[in-house]
């Protein structure tokens, strides 16, 4: 009797029809950080993200990459970027759900937490489009250094209407913002910038120079650093001027990147480009750092989101795939790997939402929370973003060859994974920034100690690690920066898990990350860990 050679057996069903927001670690953190009122919206967004159509948008936006259009058919310079319609659908949802600038116009406590949670959920569908979403969110506090500009543009930056296309900002229903900081000769050393700014009679400035890595060039507004007579300064550069004419923003090329391929990153050239000063001359870094601080928060959230997306894929596969006589998920070693990934993912999630809570309370006048976020955001950005590539790589391996093919979505997650550790200051920059906070702002360390002190006495390994920080901080020279920041991150994550996670999760974290009973790869957890309970918590129903 003949049999078909193409009968499909022992393959998992598609991971669709679930609620991305059905994540106990996320929902618990949202409630604790004051945004429980947003839970219904999160579930609605999570159910949308779990459907097939948004997954198709994500695939198409990355397969059909942005195209640079320098001139129109008649030879006029246009400097536009053409995106696939699926990019616009992703953006429309993100802006409409308030993931861009809307928290700055929302007086409800927890608005920034709700927005971070929404970004965490929706970025699991596709991460590239979160770049302009993040920059639009982050531009508002920096723009407020010029009250007149803020009054003009903030109502449109906080809009929930996605209105693409280069037109006069005043006639649009919503705006998007980007930033131009780095140049080819300096990179993160922005004080080496050579772009110049010359003041003219009407009080505006004219910029001349070349930026090296400016993402989302189809945004409406950009904050840009340039050398003014008094030193490096921050400027607002619109793509379209108030009279409707195009500002000079010559896109020389789009970057051919490892990942983040749905999003356009460019090298723009300024030549007599009109700009408005934001903040004081010579205070450019101090001004734009308020934008950078917010995008760094989003780097933490985005990396936690990417870990969660990879983890869910791995657990789903293991639940439905059989090997060596039974379901993969029942195999002790696979269960240990999945549980270890789940612990890492939950630690990243609770930290990201705790940082969002600190930011939310800080912008509402809580000085202690502001001091805490000054140190903890740099610590979180360093550690969580560095953990994402390892988590995604291990999750991909759980699927084996099935995870190595594009249709699984994991190769895209893997290519995207290193980005957040590079963007807005790579690992060394974050480690040095954390040391700078420790030295210059003693309140930040006091706030950090107060936070971990809330978990004192709950776990001996955590207590020992917290006590060891005192000795370690005494050696706070540059060569030890990574060691110090790594330890700060692990102790903080341990304190949050001990207080808020199930005992199985907290015990596994403290034993493996703080107690020395772990390994250098995932799947090495303390003996006796209830891996099945941890894995069962990890997947939305």
Distance from C-alpha of 173 to C-alpha of 223, rounded to nearest angstrom = 20
Give the HSE-up count for residue 14: Cα atoms under 13 Å, Cβ half-sphere: 10
Distance from C-alpha of 302 to C-alpha of 41, rounded to nearest angstrom = 19
**With contact defined as beta carbons under 8 Å apart, do 321 and 12 qualify?**
yes
Structure tokens at 531: 């891996």
pTM of the model: 0.97
Encode 225-262: b = buried (16+ Cβ within 10 Å), e = exposed: bbbbeeebbbbbbbbbeeeeeebbbebeebbebebbbb
pLDDT of residue 477: 83
pLDDT of residue 101: 97
**With contact defined as beta carbons under 8 Å apart, do 192 and 163 qualify?**
no
pLDDT of residue 470: 87
pLDDT of residue 233: 97
Residue 2 has pLDDT above 80, yes or no: no
Length of the chain measured in residues: 541
Tens of pLDDT, residue by residue over 160-215, are: 999 999 999 999 999 999 999 999 998 888 889 999 999 999 999 999 999 999 99
Helix (H, G, I), strand (E, B) or coil at 279: coil
Residue 533 has pLDDT above 80, yes or no: yes
**Tokens 């933490």 belong to residue:** 300
Give the CA angle between residues 217, 222, 224 to the nearest 5°: 115
Structure tokens at 229: 């007579």
Nearest to 152 by CA among 210, 238, 234: 238
pLDDT of residue 490: 98
Tens of pLDDT, residue by residue over 251-265, are: 999 999 999 999 999
The mean pLDDT of the chain is 96
Helix (H, G, I), strand (E, B) or coil at 274: strand
DSSP codes joined into one string, 403-443:
HHSGGGSHHHHHHHTTHHHHTTS-HHHHHHHHHHHHHH-HH
Q: How many Cβ atoms from other residues are within 10 Å of residue 173's Cβ? A: 10
């Amino acid at each position: 009797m003949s049999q078909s050679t193409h009968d499909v057996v022992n393959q998992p069903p598609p991971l669709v029809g679930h609620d991305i927001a059905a994540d106990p670690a996320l929902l618990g953190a949202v409630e604790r950080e004051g945004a429980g009122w947003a839970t219904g919206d999160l579930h609605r967004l999570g159910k949308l993200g779990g459907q097939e159509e948004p997954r198709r948008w994500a695939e198409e936006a990355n397969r059909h990459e942005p195209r640079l259009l320098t001139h129109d058919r008649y030879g006029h310079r246009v400097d536009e970027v053409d995106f696939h319609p699926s990019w616009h659908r992703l953006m429309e949802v993100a802006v409409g759900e308030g993931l861009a600038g809307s928290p700055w116009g929302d007086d409800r406590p927890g608005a920034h937490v709700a927005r971070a949670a929404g970004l965490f959920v929706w970025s699991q569908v596709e991460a590239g489009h979160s770049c302009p979403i993040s920059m639009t969110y982050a531009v508002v506090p920096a723009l407020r250094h010029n009250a007149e500009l803020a009054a003009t543009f903030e109502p449109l930056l906080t809009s929930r209407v996605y209105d693409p296309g280069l037109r006069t900002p005043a006639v649009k229903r919503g705006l998007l913002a980007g930033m131009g900081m780095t140049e080819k000769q300096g990179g993160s050393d922005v004080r080496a910038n050579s772009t110049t700014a010359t003041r003219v009679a009407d009080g505006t400035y004219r910029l001349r120079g070349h930026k090296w890595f400016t993402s989302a060039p189809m945004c409406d507004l950009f904050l840009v650093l340039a050398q003014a007579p008094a030193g490096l300064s921050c400027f607002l550069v619109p793509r379209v001027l108030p009279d409707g004419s195009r500002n000079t923003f010559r896109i020389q090329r789009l970057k051919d990147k490892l990942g983040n391929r749905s999003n356009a990153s460019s090298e723009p050239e300024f030549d007599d480009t009109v700009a408005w000063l934001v903040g004081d001359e010579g205070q450019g870094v101090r001004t734009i750092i308020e934008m950078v601080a917010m995008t760094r928060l989003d780097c933490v959230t985005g990396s936690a989101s990417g870990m969660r997306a990879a983890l869910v894929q791995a657990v789903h596969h293991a639940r439905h795939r059989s090997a060596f006589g039974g379901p993969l998920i029942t195999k002790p070693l696979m269960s240990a790997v999945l549980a270890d990934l789940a612990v890492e993912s939950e630690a990243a999630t609770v930290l990201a939402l705790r940082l969002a809570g600190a930011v939310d309370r800080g912008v509402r006048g809580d000085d202690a929370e502001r001091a805490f976020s000054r140190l903890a955001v740099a610590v979180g950005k360093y550690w969580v973003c560095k953990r994402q590539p390892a988590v995604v790589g291990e999750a991909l391996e759980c699927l084996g060859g099935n995870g190595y093919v594009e249709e699984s979505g994991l190769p895209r997650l893997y290519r995207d994974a290193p980005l957040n550790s590079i963007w807005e200051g790579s690992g060394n920059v974050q480690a040095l920034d954390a040391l700078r906070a420790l030295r210059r702002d003693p309140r930040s360390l006091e706030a950090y100690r107060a936070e971990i002190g809330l978990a004192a006495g709950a776990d001996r390994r955590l207590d020992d690690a917290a006590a060891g920080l005192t000795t370690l901080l005494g050696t706070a020279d540059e060569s030890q920066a990574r060691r110090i920041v790594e330890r700060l991150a692990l102790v903080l994550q341990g304190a949050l898990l001990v207080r808020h996670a199930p005992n199985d999760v907290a015990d596994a974290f403290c034993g493996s990350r703080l107690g020395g009973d772990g390994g250098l790869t995932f799947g090495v957890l303390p003996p006796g860990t209830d891996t099945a309970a941890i894995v069962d918590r990890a997947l939305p129903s």
